[in-house]
Structure 1
Amino acid sequence: MTSKLAGRRIACFFPWKPFEPTGAWCRFQCLWRFLLDQGCEVTLCLLADGADAQLKNVAVSFPKNFNLVGAVWNFGQKLATGAHRRELKGLTQAEIGLLLMYEKTLYTENAEFSQWLHERVSDHDLMICEYPMMLPVLADCCRKAGKPLIATSYDALFELHGTTPFGRDTLRRKEIEALSLADEVVFCTETERKLFESFKIRGHVVPNTGDARSVTPGKHEEFKASVTASLALKTPHFVLFVGSDHGPNREAVAEIKQFARQIPEVSFVIAGTCCPKSTEGNVIALGSVEPGILDSLYRGASTVIVPLLRGTGMSLKTFEAFNYAKALISTPVGARGFTVESGKELLLVEKPTDFPAAIRQLLSDATLRERLGLNARAYAEKLDYRNQFSPYADIIERLLATSPAPAITKTAPPGLLLVDNNLSDHIGHHYNYALSLRDHCRAAGFGFSALVKQKAAADILSELDGVPLFRQGLHEDAAQNPYPAEWGHMRGMYDFLASNDRFARELEEGLQSRARSGEVIFLPNATPRQILGVALLLNKNPIYRLLRFVLMLRYSVNSGVGPINARKAFFDKETAEHYLFSFDKLAGVSADCVRLVTDSQELAKEYATLARRPVEVMPIPHTANEDAGAAVAGVPTKNKSKLRVVFLGDARDEKGFELLPALARACAQEPWLSKVELVFHAYISSHYHLKMGTVIEELSGVKARNLSLVKSSLSAAAYRHLLATADLVLLPYDSITYRSRTSGPFVEAICAGKPVVAPAQSWMSIQLGTSGAGKTFSSGNVGDFVAAVLAVLQNHATYATAAQELGCKYREYHNPENFVRQLVGAGS
């Protein structure tokens, strides 16, 4: 970070309920995201109820036993029954509430709040106060500590909330006095800057904007159809209004209900707390909606309307409409602060009764709608907060010019934090997968670290910059399950909930110590035992929504059960229900925060019905290096006159390990004895597969000099060596289990240009297609398997050539570089 603000500690105070889709919160979010972009360490000081939380560069802090709205109520009750009762007579409830927020006693009579405020000011280099009400008490604290203070004025509050002459005059005086206490003041519009300058309050203008990069406009027809179906709309178009529970917004809703009667051929959809959920004729109010729903509404709306009659500051809803490239109709009040022209970026109408004609004009002219939308989007891109919020940096730099610069500790660039609660040793693909991600993240200029199992080996922690964290592995049950085995469903539900609770707590611990805002948190084997934990964490404290979670879905809910030669399809209903439950709890989280990904089109289709949100298909990074690597202990040196046939990975029933003894016996006879050497990985990685021990014993009993068994896991280098020296890779897997599920060894073999034998009617057979790079067999049929292997060996040169050709094509997409680019680069 080259910014002069790097390492500066900034405390940002916000008075309202946080993490809500209000205009005030959206602007505040732009502010602290801008500060984070500048390399600042930011604490969000929120005057509401909540739990403290932190990442490496941003924290959330709540005062204990203090809620601004509740404090105002309690304080007002005291005043209403005391000596000040006569002074409050004649004021509206809104005027009284706002006036009380300026009173120092409201804050200082709470000893815990005073201590909290003192600690926040002492711990930071500079304070920023959103809204002026808290300035009197905050300015006192800053003055005593010698710390600078910036105030952001969102509106001329006395104009917005002062409805009685005495109330308006008193609010004006309070607002001016409070703003005069700040070292610098930032206004949202030039109009308000000039207004307060007339009261001798000088300041700067930083307009209300947003994140233009967060939205890629498009898919209007698709989302219009979706919204129309879900709301059962009877009209070909719907018009959208969005607003929070704010007086001017409620008044706008009343106007919409009036003029909507004049245009019955259009549906009017109202989103937000400005109107309770209801339906009145062609006006449908949805109440508060989740971010994903709001996104769909914006995309599907034929036009957006802002029929505001009063207000100060700038309306974020107007920027949002611009950002979605929507044709917008607004009153001049709704467009205040924006440098726009009617007929260019939007249509301006003077009064609500003009809206029906303007709506009909837009809906009858698709070309005009498109032109307005394109111009609006171009304007929104210029207004992106990264461009507009630079005055804050200049002000902070000037105020801290005489303050000693912080010692900057060099940190890794933002990048990827791998979360793998199964990774503890070199067994299986977990370690090699992580190693590949580490190397290619660093090569691409991204940082990399990992949260792994608590008992992970020291060398793994060192190589992966890992944190030993998770006590429970991916497939391990809770140790203290109180329910008896015969209570099957309840026992499973306990394990499901307990595993997620533990995972969420341990993950939070790791995120606080390792993650920075904006980084990708990647779960390479996400199951319901983790997904619900992620949802729990994001709902418990929304600060973690500053991270970008990517959940890789790799296991199908459809599998095979029974002996390999008589497998039957099994739909895991309980696991499917757990997926549904977990995905449902993510429904309120935006796709920018949580991406669901998988590595096969077949799995994507399967999960789409469960997740009810997009599931991306990613490249597969299981590409081993082309060098032969180190020799494998216990495996003879490759005989150039023989074809080497290998089986890679641990012994499992779904991998068809039981079919290998028959092949070993067939190859123990001439002519194959002198033409082929067999190298089978033959070890058990989990107690779930202990029954494969008898198969390993059977293989050990095959007396053949051309058979070698590798009875332990391999280092990454040794694994690469075994693959590189192979002439044929065996994948005798169960086709039911692998109908949509991918296989790492298959991808490695194909990318290395090695022919394969794989089951028909599986994901692997789909990948082979008509390439001729391998041969398929009837899953579980030992005779068919052996015949397929021998057929490839008899015509190996032809299969090898085809495998090289397929490998070249496959590597163009399935490679670690492409995977990392799509994983980390998206949205960065």
Structure 2
Amino acid sequence: MLVADLLALATRWRPRPTVTIIDPALQGIGGHHYSAAERLAAELAAAGVGCRILCSSRADSNVIGTLKGEICFSESIYGRTDTGMREFERRAKALAKDLSRMVQWTRPDLLILPTCDQVLLYAAALAIKSIGGWQPTILAWFLYPPDDAQTQAEYRVAGEALKSGLGSRGQVHACCETTAAKRLLESCLPFALERRPGPSALANAISPPSREVGERSRGPVVACVGHANIGKGYALLPEALSLATKSHDRVVFRVHGFIDRRDTVQDHETFRRLSEMGPGVSVHNAVLSTQGYQEFIAAADILLLPYAPDVYRSRGSGVFNEAEQLGKPVIAPRACTFAEEAFAEGRAVPIERLDPRGIAHAIAGAIGDLPQLEERAAIHARKRKLDGLRPLLTRLLKAAPGYCDIKL
């Protein structure tokens, strides 16, 4: 009887699936790259599955020590100056060489690309082709929609290469964050996309602050948080907040932004001006830990996102996703499609013209309508509940050629 039981078990047993997260731009703590990898690793661990995290060759001790990241990629998905096809292929081949070296013996069942673009997609396709017999399931979030002819051509090359390297279209689960991005990407790629927020820094257990809507012992807090690059509109804030504070002197403005090396001179001048605006404006430049980031957003009443529409017209926003999850009203440019549903439902206030006066006007509108905005945002957060990441990972893990009894 014991032998029969062992034989029956042997026919059912398979090794646990192996998972690798790849992000050539993962270098340090702070920002979407770190929080996405951290969240994915935590969700996989909750499902009883470990993972490898392959990161930039310039990754710091936080990535190596805390996330157990492994040095891999010599190229990044950022910093590209030559937009021609030759440079696209050169970067993809360099990334593919690095990836192949790291996975040729392990051949993970599930390959996760949390911050994907056309270069990384093509690199994954080339690596899969170079390793005979490797047919992973791929989960990818596309952050950068193809909004010009050259980028669209590159996405087509990458998509066709991946299609030819994989045995089934079903092996790719592709996601993006906005309807506009989905439309653009599906016009270039040979597989369907799902509109789904990227891996959030806010775990499912995070909930809004305990105070009741409308209950406030101080002025409302309007907050900016994130990476202070030029596309985030930080340079407009000194004049915009100066105008806003003249009309609403009880409002507290909290501005966080870690400075981009590419915009150092402009950013330092912006934060110098903000720091001299008095007690109603507080400035924070340190890179936030995940917990610090969560606490910063949770303490805000309104999130201000003065993003440049030419950069974010079709792109999603991690800060916006987290504001939705916590039931926080948002101020954002009308032309940024990540907030179009929130505008329509009355839980976000549009910036009609992205200049200091337009931002100040939107702030005044949000403060004047704050109780209603909070109520609508809280209703949406309750409907939204979880972001669905854990069920998605569980489903993909169960479909992978590995042990099926995944913990839920």
Please give the range of the TM-score, normalised by the shorter of the 2 chains: 0.7 to 0.9
Among 574, 579, 603, the alignment partner of 2:150 is 574
Matched, 1:715 2:289: yes
Post-superposition shift, 1:739? 2.7
CA contact (8 A) 1:620 1:815 kept: no
Pairwise CA RMSD of aligned residues? 2.9
The aligned counterpart of 1:554 is 143
CA distance in 2, matches of 1:475, 1:465: 23
CA distance in 1, matches of 2:134, 2:281: 53
The aligned counterpart of 2:224 is 647
Letter in 1 for 2:303: V
CA distance in 2, matches of 1:442, 1:818: 13
Post-superposition shift, 1:641? 1.3
Once the two structures are superposed, the pairs formed by residues 317-716 of structure 1 within 5 Å of their partners are: 413-477=16-80, 492-512=84-104, 514-516=106-108, 519-545=109-135, 547-558=136-147, 571=148, 573-588=149-164, 589=166, 590-622=168-200, 624-625=202-203, 626=206, 640-669=217-246, 672-673=248-249, 675-687=250-262, 691-700=266-275, 702-716=276-290
Post-superposition shift, 1:523? 0.9
CA distance in 1, matches of 2:299, 2:105: 43
Quickly say closer, same or farther: Cα 1:810–1:437, change in 2 above 3 A.
same
CA distance in 2, matches of 1:585, 1:720: 39
**Structure 2 gaps, min length 5:** 210-215, 402-408
Post-superposition shift, 1:665? 0.8
The percentage of counterpart residues that share the same residue type is 22
- Tell me the SS of whatever aligns to 1:767: helix
Post-superposition shift, 1:433? 1.4
Among 786, 800, 806, the alignment partner of 2:380 is 806
CA distance in 2, matches of 1:542, 1:596: 23
- Runs of 4+ in structure 1 deviating by more than 6 angstroms, as ranges, are none
* Higher mean C-alpha deviation, range 643-652 or range 681-690: 681-690
Once the two structures are superposed, the pairs formed by residues 115-194 of structure 1 within 5 Å of their partners are: none
CA distance in 1, matches of 2:44, 2:320: 23
Quickly say closer, same or farther: Cα 1:461–1:623, change in 2 above 3 A.
closer
CA distance in 1, matches of 2:258, 2:337: 25
Give CA deviations for 1:203-260 in whole Å, capped at 9, x if unaligned: xxxxxxxxxxxxxxxxxxxxxxxxxxxxxxxxxxxxxxxxxxxxxxxxxxxxxxxxxx
Among 372, 386, 390, the alignment partner of 1:817 is 390
Letter in 2 for 1:574: Q
Post-superposition shift, 1:586? 2.4
CA distance in 2, matches of 1:708, 1:513: 51
CA distance in 2, matches of 1:554, 1:603: 8
CA contact (8 A) 2:252 2:280 kept: yes
Among 715, 718, 731, the alignment partner of 2:305 is 731
CA distance in 2, matches of 1:664, 1:494: 45
How many residues are aligned here?
Answer: 385
- Tell me the TM-score normalized by structure 2: 0.84
Give CA deviations for 1:510-557 in whole Å, capped at 9, x if unaligned: 2136544xx210111222222222221222233222x21223222022
- Tell me the SS of whatever aligns to 2:134: helix
Quickly say closer, same or farther: Cα 1:690–1:579, change in 2 above 3 A.
farther
Quickly say closer, same or farther: Cα 1:690–1:574, change in 2 above 3 A.
farther
CA distance in 2, matches of 1:753, 1:623: 15
Bigger relative contact order, structure 1 or 2, given CA contacts below 8 A and separation 6+?
2
Post-superposition shift, 1:610? 0.9
- Tell me the TM-score normalized by structure 1: 0.43
The aligned counterpart of 2:338 is 764
Structure with bigger gyration radius: 1
CA distance in 1, matches of 2:22, 2:118: 15
Letter in 2 for 1:541: I
Post-superposition shift, 1:650? 1.2
Post-superposition shift, 1:4? 6.3
Letter in 1 for 2:298: A
CA distance in 1, matches of 2:346, 2:55: 40
Give CA deviations for 1:336-391 in whole Å, capped at 9, x if unaligned: xxxxxxxxxxxxxxxxxxxxxxxxxxxxxxxxxxxxxxxxxxxxxxxxxxxxxxxx
- Tell me the SS of whatever aligns to 1:542: coil
CA distance in 1, matches of 2:127, 2:220: 53
Letter in 2 for 1:594: V
CA distance in 1, matches of 2:200, 2:335: 22
Post-superposition shift, 1:493? 3.7
Quickly say closer, same or farther: Cα 1:685–1:427, change in 2 above 3 A.
farther
